[in-house]
């Protein structure tokens, strides 16, 4: 299994990780870390810079919200979910499973 390790990030924030030709967004919402593909399925724009809150991230371009746990969109602009990745929190940081 391929994986990335990253330090924990503050609540309501995100960090872009690049690995294996993918852009992954590590998010912290309410003290729980999530990893989601850094791509809005509405217009293929990055989710980086979007507001992280209550288990969702909002696309900074059009405000489409995605559930950080499932990748499911909320609203009418996007119908396709965003890929999510398994996250393991360790004493040393966050491990994101890429496969």
CATH superfamily of 3-97: Rieske [2Fe-2S] iron-sulphur domain (2.102.10.10)
What gap in Å lies between CA 85 and CA 3, rounded to an integer? 10
Q: What is the model's pLDDT at position 50?
A: 97
Asked if residues 96 and 27 have their Cβ atoms less than 8 Å apart, the reply is no
Task: Give the dihedral of Cα atoms 28, 50, 45, 97; nearest 10 deg.
Answer: 0
What gap in Å lies between CA 54 and CA 91, rounded to an integer? 24
pTM value? 0.93
For the chain, 99 residues long, give each residue's pLDDT as a single digit of tens. Answer: 689 999 999 999 999 999 888 999 999 999 999 999 999 998 899 999 999 999 999 999 998 999 999 999 998 888 899 999 999 999 989 999 987
DSSP class of residue 58? E
Q: What is the model's pLDDT at position 1?
A: 66
């Amino acid at each position: 299994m391929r994986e990335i390790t990253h330090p924990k990030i503050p609540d309501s924030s995100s960090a872009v990780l690049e690995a294996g030709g993918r852009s992954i967004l590590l998010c912290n919402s309410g003290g729980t870390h999530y990893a989601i593909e850094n791509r809005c399925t509405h217009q293929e724009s990055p989710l980086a810079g979007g507001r992280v809150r209550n288990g969702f991230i909002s696309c900074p371009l059009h405000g489409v919200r995605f559930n950080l746990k499932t990748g499911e969109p909320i609203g009418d602009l996007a119908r396709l979910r965003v890929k999510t990745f398994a996250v393991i929190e360790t004493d040393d940081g966050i491990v994101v499973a890429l496969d």
